[in-house]
Structure 1
Amino acid sequence: MAQSQHREGIAAGRLAPPQYADNFSDLHPPLDRHEAVVEADRCYFCYDAPCMQACPTEIDIPLFIRQIATGNPLGAARTIFDQNILGGMCARVCPTETLCEEACVREAAEGKPVQIGRLQRYATDAAMTAGRQFYERAAPTGKRIAVVGAGPAGLACAHRLAVHGHDVTIFEARPKPGGLNEYGIAAYKATDDFARAEVDYVTEIGGIAIDYDKALGRDVSLAGLAATYDAVFLGMGLAGVNALRAEGEEAQGVENAVDFIAGLRQARDLSSIPVGRRVVVIGGGMTAIDAAIQSKLLGAEEVTICYRRGKEHMNASAMEQDLAASKGVLIRHWLQPKRVVAEGGRTAGIELEYTEMRDGRLAGTGETVTIEADQVFKAIGQSFDAAPLNGSGERIALEGGRIRVDQDGRTSMAKVWAGGDCVVDAREDLTVAAVAAGRDAAESIHRTLSANGRA
């Protein structure tokens, strides 16, 4: 390990150059043909398919695994893409250990489920590597739909609409497409610029145009889109980051974990990413885990996750928590931030208060502990910025700070649907849930336009 790692404060280049490539290599290397067939043979092909019922996109998992077992990976890819056109990324980042694999009968019987996620990657990679497209556009309908956001929900919606023959324009606020897949996923989970390759694969069907650097409320208005297009789908993510609500959090060295992850994902040279020697991450979800692990992989000596509740309450799965521990990350529970300790305006540590459940509610005990840190990451959830929605035109109903939709994804505004993290009851950080929402909203839009020509 390079001597430079022992520098105090936040610094880049803490490791010897070759270490970065090793540290950020593929978390789960792909299965080869033999490994895939052997793994597929472990499937019982259950008649009631509990794995399929646990999948938010309802992929026919037993069918695609049987297709792999019989030497037909392209057929398996078609089965996956019929339900989830972003099946390649979902195979890499979906928490299968708490969804399909947790429901696997092999998990209940042996504690070792069929590796559904890796089999899904095997099949989808085969199709994408071969450039095999399974869908052709229907005859043009003459209908035009605007999609706001080129993330998982927006891309899934756009692809399904394009299959039905509609023309789609996606308005994306950032300079690259992919949303969470491009900017919010740990670098070791999606290597080799896979997010962009998947977008290219999805849009190859035609009929989908992406207009970059176009933000709702700044460059386009919802009222304008609704007046110009036959329908609108809102697939924006969560732009706001929740505050620590701790004294001194404006100190230099206190950063948003989502910004750190985004910067790392876009960096051409990982050795240029500065990281602290002692890092504390506040939060208990996937963003906290990803920020903590990647801090360690960049050369931080001490990385601690502090979460206000117990291990069993963390949104991050047990597997992800174990992964963090295996990388040398310490996870401490029942601690909430109280004060950022600063010296000369720079973060030097963080004071935390111990918590406990009291009468069914979380409460501080009054006892505190201070952890030395030169960098603190906030990963305590994001919030939806509703301001761009109502800058003009008819107001969209919100609930709990997010867009209220019905079972088909319709909002309270005529011609406007929504899905993904921006809606009420969205399952945050789950690409697969956003894909399902975008796909289902597209079908609703298509049914509506087909029935009477109007949304």
Structure 2
Amino acid sequence: MTSPLTPGIAAGRLDPETLAQNFADLHAPYDGHEAAVAADRCYFCHDAPCITACPTDIDIPLFIRQISTGQPQAAARTILEQNILGGMCARVCPTETLCEEACVRETAEGKPVEIGRLQRYATDTMMAANSHPFTRAAPTGKRVAVVGAGPAGLSCAHRLAMLGHDVALFDAKPKPGGLNEYGIASYKSTEDFAAREAAWLMQIGGITLHTGRTLGQDITLGELQSDFDAVFLGLGLGAVNALTCEGNDRDGVTDAVTFIADLRQASDLSTLPIGRDVVVIGGGMTAVDAAVQAKLLGAENVTISYRRKQAQMPASRYEQDLATSKGVRILANTMPVAIDATGLTLEYTTSDGGTLKGTGETLHLKADQVFRAIGQTFAGFDGPELERGKIKVTGPGRTSIPGVWAGGDCTAGEDLTVVAVADGRDAAMDIHATLSGS
């Protein structure tokens, strides 16, 4: 048996002060004056393209006008009426390819209104006041099970509770939040924000959280259908794609999702082991988050290997530039073919009529740690009909099983937090309409 790929992996590469600086808030929040100045740049368009570009249809010109007139809590309500997780979305949404890309200022000047930072200012102001802008309707007597306490599940649960239904919220993890709690880079969500936002959301009342409950093991879909009037599935993506190259099962080769989750839950970053030479396989947001955080933990050389052209990377150009600004190297048109005791061998690729293939030319990268970030898949269970490996839904999240809805990453569509929030909200409204007979 060959030697493992782990001798260079060690904890404590950087002192606690440096780590604290490295993992500080990526974007410092606005103060009141900065927010007012940023809000004054908005044209308050009548037919605002930024609204159309927002998956949750927030009235962006309205909330920015409310900020400009000194009403940040009113602005927060405008945001939260459409997106109850507006605080987290302000931190993690790729606004540069959504609302800010559509901003008229971006088109005219190449410098959009900073909508995301303004949204954060408004929602943070409300949370700091420990104020919850919504109240529950009169109890309906209906009970709904929501499986998965990620963005889709939390959004669905809140809207159902606000409409007067009693919600049992189940999650396999010990904490609610899903991707927000376990899958986002630490520098994007500091000071335990995901947990604080989930706790704030549940101030609406009527939501009972059950953690450590896994569908298919601790509870079954049949039991939920029997015990509740409706079921919503916001399960996310539980399975991680594996590398198929030789040596992919060596020590020191792991998935980026686990690395990010471990980092997010660590109370002391200096205890986290990291290699000197790290390679991340993949080109999406998870790959960038893993690569940047490896660098911030003290890795000397970090490389992202992506099999297609850099312009085709799923991660936004902003995220790519962030990675390179932190010292991460991006190697496009390369794919792994073998991992050994010294690192990994990559083969250069080319596209022939849209089909990716190897060129036969290779290079060897020194590596003592390799992270897989080549996508996640729906783990699946004996339940609703699937389509292309995910739960098939029609309209506002209706599955093939009557009385069962689904949304978020476990269904088809973009794997974005803001899209999951919209899915949960819209499914909740359809569940409410169904249960009320309207």
Query: Normalising by structure 2, what TM-score?
Result: 0.98
Hey, what does 1:436 align to over in structure 2?
A: 422
Question: What residue in structure 2 maps to residue 150 of structure 1?
Answer: 149
TM-fit CA distance, 1:8: 5.6
CA contact (8 A) 1:36 1:68 kept: yes
Does 2:435 match 1:449? yes
Structure 1 equivalent of residue 17 of structure 2: 18
- Matches of 2:392 and 2:163, distance apart in 1: 26
Q: What residue identity is the alignment partner of 1:450? A: S
For residues 409-438 of structure 1, give each alpha carbon's deviation from its aligned partner in whole angstroms, at most 9, with x where no partner exists.
0000111000000012x211x110000000
1:429-455 deviation line (CA, Å, top 9, x unaligned): x11000000000000000000117xxx
The one-letter code matched in structure 1 to 2:263 is L
**Helix, strand or coil for the counterpart of 2:409?**
coil
Determine if the alignment matches structure 1 residue 380 to structure 2 residue 374: yes
Q: How far did 1:151 drift?
A: 0.3
Mark the runs of 5 or more structure 2 residues left unpaired by the alignment: 1-5
Partner of residue 363 from structure 1, selected from 348, 351, 357: 357
2:408 paired residue number: 420
Say whether the 8 Å CA contact 1:421–1:434 is kept in structure 2. yes
Task: Say if 1:8 and 1:277, in contact at 8 Å, map to a contact too.
Answer: no
Note the C-alpha offset of 1:166. 0.1
Question: Given that residues 63 and 79 in structure 1 are in contact (C-alpha distance below 8 angstroms), is that contact kept between their aligned partners in structure 2?
Answer: yes
Task: Name the % identity.
Answer: 65
Q: Equivalent residue for 1:48? A: 47
Match of 2:389 among 401, 412, 418: 401
Once the two structures are TM-superposed, the CA of residue 360 in structure 1 deviates from its matched residue by 1.9
* SS across alignment from 1:276: coil
Q: For the residues of structure 1 that align with 2:354 and 2:263, how far apart are their CA atoms?
A: 39
- Between the aligned partners of 1:110 and 1:125, the Cα distance in structure 2 is 29
Give the alignment's Cα RMSD to 1 decimal.
0.9
Return the alpha-carbon distance in structure 2 between the equivalents of residues 448 and 96 of structure 1: 34
Distance 2:49 2:331 in 1: 34
1:175-254 → structure 2 map (5 Å cutoff): 175-254=174-253
Deviation at 1:312, TM superposition (A): 1.1
State the one-letter code of the partner of 1:415.
Answer: G
Letter of the 1:268 counterpart: S
Q: Which AA in structure 2 matches 1:326?
A: S
* Distance in 2 of aligned mates of 1:360 and 1:178: 38
Deviation at 1:132, TM superposition (A): 1.3
Provide the rounded CA distance (Å) in 1 between the counterparts of 2:326 and 2:294.
Answer: 10
Q: Which amino acid aligns with 2:147?
A: V
3-state SS in 1 of match to 2:78: helix
How far the C-alpha of 1:332 sits from its partner, in A, is 0.7
2:293 corresponds in structure 1 to 294
Q: Deviations over 1:135-170 (max 9, x none)?
A: 110000000000000000000000000010000001
CA separation in 1, counterparts of 2:238 and 2:204? 30
> What do residues 15-58 of structure 1 show as CA deviations (whole Å, max 9, x unaligned)?
12211100000000100000000000000111111011000000
Match of 1:4 in 2: none
Could you report, residue by residue, the CA deviation over 1:292-321 in whole angstroms, capped at 9, with x for unpaired residues?
A: 000000000000000001111011111110
Q: Which residue of 2 is the match for residue 3 of structure 1?
A: none
Alignment of 1:85-100 (within 5 A): 85-100=84-99
3-state SS, counterpart of residue 275 of structure 1 = coil
Measure, in 1, the Cα distance between the counterparts of 2:363 and 2:291: 20
User: Is 1:304 the counterpart of 2:303 in the alignment?
Assistant: yes
Aligned residue type for 1:397: E
Q: Structure 2 matches for 1:249-398, cutoff 5 A?
A: 249-342=248-341, 348-387=342-381, 390=382, 395-398=383-386
| Cα distance in 2 for residues equivalent to 1:49 and 1:94 | 19
Contact 1:9 1:374 in 2 (8 A): yes
1:10 is paired with a residue whose SS is coil
Mapped contact 1:183–1:265 kept (Cα < 8 A): yes
Across the two proteins, how many residue pairs are aligned to each other?
433
Structure 1 unaligned regions, length at least 5: 1-6, 343-347
Indicate if the aligned counterparts of 1:151 and 1:235 stay in contact, CA closer than 8 A: yes
The runs of 4+ residues in structure 1 deviating greater than 3 Å are: none
Deviation per CA, 1:46-82, whole angstroms, max 9, x where unpaired?
A: 1111011000000000000000000000000000000
